[in-house]
Chains A and B, each alone.
Chain A
Amino acid sequence: MAEVKVKPEVSDPMDIENRIIELCHQFPHGITDQVIQNDMPHMEAQQRAMAINRLLSMGQLDLLRSNAGLLYRIKESQNASKMKGSDNQEKLVYQIIEDAGNKGIWSRDIRYKSNLPLTEINKILKNLESKKLIKAVKSVAASKKKVYMLYNLQPDRSVTGGAWYSDQDFESEFVEVLNQQCFKFLQSKAEAARESKQNPMIQRNSSFASSHEVWKYICELGISKVELSMEDIETILNTLIYDGKVEMTIIAAKEGTVGSVDGQMKLYRAISPLIQATGLVRTPCGLCPVFDDCHEGGEISPSNCIYMTEWLEF
């Protein structure tokens, strides 16, 4: 009887790799070693390991750690081509930055996540920046901090500060100008309403302006280079409320009316202050900076108060 040698099936390494890639595509969240083993039970562990390593070095698989062990995940193809020239450490750092999304990540946090020494990190970051894969954005909160994010991502509002910041500088003049414009608009509306002299209900209702109207007015004025959203206008109107010049009410509006958000509309109205300047501040003592040091017979006393002398000469 001739011995039939059953040659162990030497699967083509390419086939193994393709099979693994197919499996990865089937489970986009990642597959464990167990899954690969179940699929190709006749494969030896060594061959499996070799295939996986090769895929990893080619950049087609991602290696992740999870509770169940190691996970392999397919990587998008275009990134795979980019990373051809970089080594593993760079890939790791790049991955971390990618995960941070558009908020960016600080260099110290990259170090914690990747466990790489600081010098290495800096070298890698410089490398990646020169390859135009990542960029550094200065944070507006702490001006010395730099966060890194992918090159083509738009930084989040919390980092740049949104419409009020241009190059990390708070544009207070811009805010002031907008402030005054909104107030003038509301004031003229209230004036017009008062002069119409109809019955008081109509007068009051017509002196209200919704936030949408104010937004449209500001856009048409064209004083802003940056496009402003309705929320931006609402923050400006809030500052007017804190100045005591404007009051706000919220009414229920039908869904679909212009400017309504979730069935509500905010209305704003210019108001005049409740009282005139109060009595205390009409005397020098009300505004005196050395008030606490003043007493009869001392260096500073009512009898020789220079503020009073000046005030009396008016």
Chain B
Amino acid sequence: MTQAEIKLCSLLLQEHFGEIVEKIGTFLVRTGAQPLRIIVSETGLLLDQVKKGLCVLIQHNLATYQLQKRGSVEYEAQCERILHILRYPRYIYSAKTLYGDTGELLVEELLLNGKMTMSAVVRKVADRLTETMEDGKTMDYSDVSGTFVRLADTHFIQRCPLVPDSPQTPEAPPPAAPTLVIDEKEMYVVPRLNLVGKGKRRRSCEEEEDGERKVKKQKQGESSEPPPDDGIYWQVNIDRFHQHFRDQGIVSAVASRMDQTSSEIVRTMLRMSEVTTSSSAPHTQPLSSHEIFRSLPAGYNITKQILDQYLTLLADDPLEFVGKSGDSGGGTFTVNLHKALVSLATATLESIVEERFGSRCARIFRLLLRKKHLEQKQVEDFAMIPAKEAKEMLYKMLSENFVSLQEIPKTPDHAPSRTFYLYTVNIVSAARMLLHRCYKSVANLIERRQYETKENKRLLEKSQRVEAILASMQATGAEDTQLQEIEEMITAPERQQLETLKRNVNKMDASENQVDETIFVLEMFIESTMRK
């Protein structure tokens, strides 16, 4: 784990879980798998604290444990998984666009709690939704369960591994650490529950009397027996969300390069192969053009011929996102996932070079990407840039490690006057370098945000106190003049400062998400290349 990654992990853990978990997490990320005693001794925390911290980490799928041969249990933190915390807002937003508010809240609850049973999640989300609805209306459990089932069907959430119910002989002691197993087929099966009920508001004083009594009876009835799906916990399927983001990226690239219709066709193809193709495959399953025609969204009424033409165009395009794999069924087509990721990553690299060094440097960069290895003179000739400028730009890019030199000696003594020096771009190493830089940038942004908040702590506390007073006074029904007096406790320039602070914090949050998009593209690209 690089320095930048460790720093970022510690910042994220601190922000979301507090000091103790941060210490444990950072120690595990830095040193790998460790048994409990060593964690306690190295971090200087109490055994109790360490136990609780590890529980938190395991609950959120950020750490795993393993039973070693000698009987001790070692705990390991997953650095990548911790870095995915950065992406939680994006997951929640996609769930919102796909499944509406219900989906958004379901995913949010699951992310915040790590693992939950279905009944607990459904109840909580129903309560939250009822809060936001108008008076008198409540959210039915069945709606929420319906969305939950749909999320499970499209594999966005999955069951957590369970302890196997193997019959245990009374003599054998239970193992020190249970091994969790989950059957592939069981992962997305939703248990049959009859969740009856409606969401409840926190302040039940507005509900009718009958409602209250019924609710009280229900509560008593439920608390006496354990929920029927006890032991079946659900978690968010991060891989599936990544697949979804990757598909989104491909579709938007096709839309900007070609037109809207082509992007819809590609989106249909990707949707059809969502559940059939594993996330690590280099292409999707072949789809015949008849199937694609049948699965096009209802609003699109293009004729079969036009669809065929579009497919041929997509297959012939130099982008090579879609490939033709055969002629049966009117032509079978696949989406080239690996190539698409390479193109997206290359476009990201080019855009970074363009913004940092200028468009002429971008021209040289793209030239080197195409021609692989070039001499200094050839670069000048092809790019039509005067010699002095070309030299300057190449050296600048060389110093930042975007391009590298390859020496080819003419004589065995490698004399500089008799060697060829070729410039070349190595995409994977440039991608790694930029990924590292992204991690450091995000860490910088988080630190700056915390610094800004700390600077204005006094002001924030004051405004919070004022708000609390206001709220309590409104609840007890105070007069307008009194409310105004309280509000004026915050002076105008202070109010402005608060405004600026809020704006800055929002800006930095937004830019963290934007850098995270770049991180995603580069990570996917490196993963896909390493797998090949």
Chain A residue with minimal CB distance to B3? A295
Q: Considering the complex, which residues of chain B in the window 415-449 have a beta carbon less than 8 Å from any beta carbon of chain A? A: 434, 437-438, 440-441, 443-445, 447-448
Q: Give B205 Cβ to nearest chain A Cβ, in Å.
A: 44
Interface: B451 (CB within 8 A): yes
Q: Is the CB of B386 within 8 A of A170?
A: yes
Q: Among the listed A170, A175, A275, which residue makes an inter-chain contact with B351, where contact means beta carbons less than 8 Å apart?
A: A275
Q: Which chain A residues lie closer than 8 Å to B507 at the CB level? A: 312
Segment from B110-118, B137-145, B188-196, B515-523 that makes contact with A: B515-523
Interface: A164 (CB within 8 A): yes
In the assembled complex, the Cα of A294 lies from the Cα of B309 at a distance in Å of 53
Q: Which chain B residues lie closer than 8 Å to A285 at the CB level? A: 437, 440-441, 444-445, 515
Q: Give B503 Cβ to nearest chain A Cβ, in Å.
A: 8
Q: Is the CB of B256 within 8 A of A303?
A: no
Q: Is the CB of A279 within 8 A of B518?
A: yes
Interface: A80 (CB within 8 A): no
Interface: B528 (CB within 8 A): no
Q: Give B336 Cβ to nearest chain A Cβ, in Å.
A: 15
Interface: B366 (CB within 8 A): yes
Interface: A296 (CB within 8 A): yes
Q: Which chain B residues lie closer than 8 Å to A271 at the CB level? A: 257
Q: Which chain B residues lie closer than 8 Å to A14 at the CB level? A: none
Q: How many residues of A contact B (CB 8 A)?
A: 45
Interface: A79 (CB within 8 A): no
Q: Is the CB of B517 within 8 A of A279?
A: yes
Q: Which chain A residues lie closer than 8 Å to B359 at the CB level? A: 243
Known: A242-B383, A283-B441, A291-B437. A247 touches B318 (CB 8 A): yes
Q: Give B493 Cβ to nearest chain A Cβ, in Å.
A: 16
Q: Give B364 Cβ to nearest chain A Cβ, in Å.
A: 8
Q: Is the CB of A302 within 8 A of B447?
A: yes
Interface: A281 (CB within 8 A): yes
Q: How many residues of B contact A (CB 8 A)?
A: 60
Q: Which chain B residues lie closer than 8 Å to A68 at the CB level? A: none
In the assembled complex, the Cα of A167 lies from the Cα of B513 at a distance in Å of 53
**Interface positions of B (Cβ within 8 A of A):** 252-253, 256-257, 259, 261-262, 305-306, 309-310, 312-313, 318-319, 343-344, 347-348, 350-352, 355-356, 359, 362-364, 366-367, 370, 377, 382-387, 434, 437-438, 440-441, 443-445, 447-448, 451, 504, 507-508, 511, 513-518, 521
In the assembled complex, the Cα of A164 lies from the Cα of B383 at a distance in Å of 12
Q: Is the CB of A282 within 8 A of B386?
A: no
Interface: A273 (CB within 8 A): yes
Q: Is the CB of B356 within 8 A of A244?
A: no
Q: Is the CB of A279 within 8 A of B515?
A: yes
Select the residue from A285, A291, A303, A308 with max chain B CB neighbours within 10 A: A285
Q: Which chain A residues lie closer than 8 Å to B511 at the CB level? A: 279, 282-283
Q: Is the CB of A294 within 8 A of B444?
A: yes
Q: Among the listed A286, A291, A302, which residue makes an inter-chain contact with B352, where contact means beta carbons less than 8 Å apart?
A: A286
Q: Which chain A residues lie closer than 8 Å to B515 at the CB level? A: 279-280, 282-283, 285-286
Q: Among the listed B252, B377, B437, B514, which residue makes an inter-chain contact with A279, where contact means beta carbons less than 8 Å apart?
A: B514
Q: Considering the complex, which residues of chain A in the window 254-280 have a beta carbon less than 8 Å from any beta carbon of chain B? A: 271-280
Q: Which chain A residues lie closer than 8 Å to B351 at the CB level? A: 273, 275-278, 281
Q: Which chain A residues lie closer than 8 Å to B363 at the CB level? A: 239, 242-243
Interface: A230 (CB within 8 A): no
Known: A275-B253, A280-B437, A303-B451. A239 touches B348 (CB 8 A): no
Q: Give A20 Cβ to nearest chain B Cβ, in Å.
A: 48
Interface: A172 (CB within 8 A): yes
Q: Is the CB of A286 within 8 A of B356?
A: yes
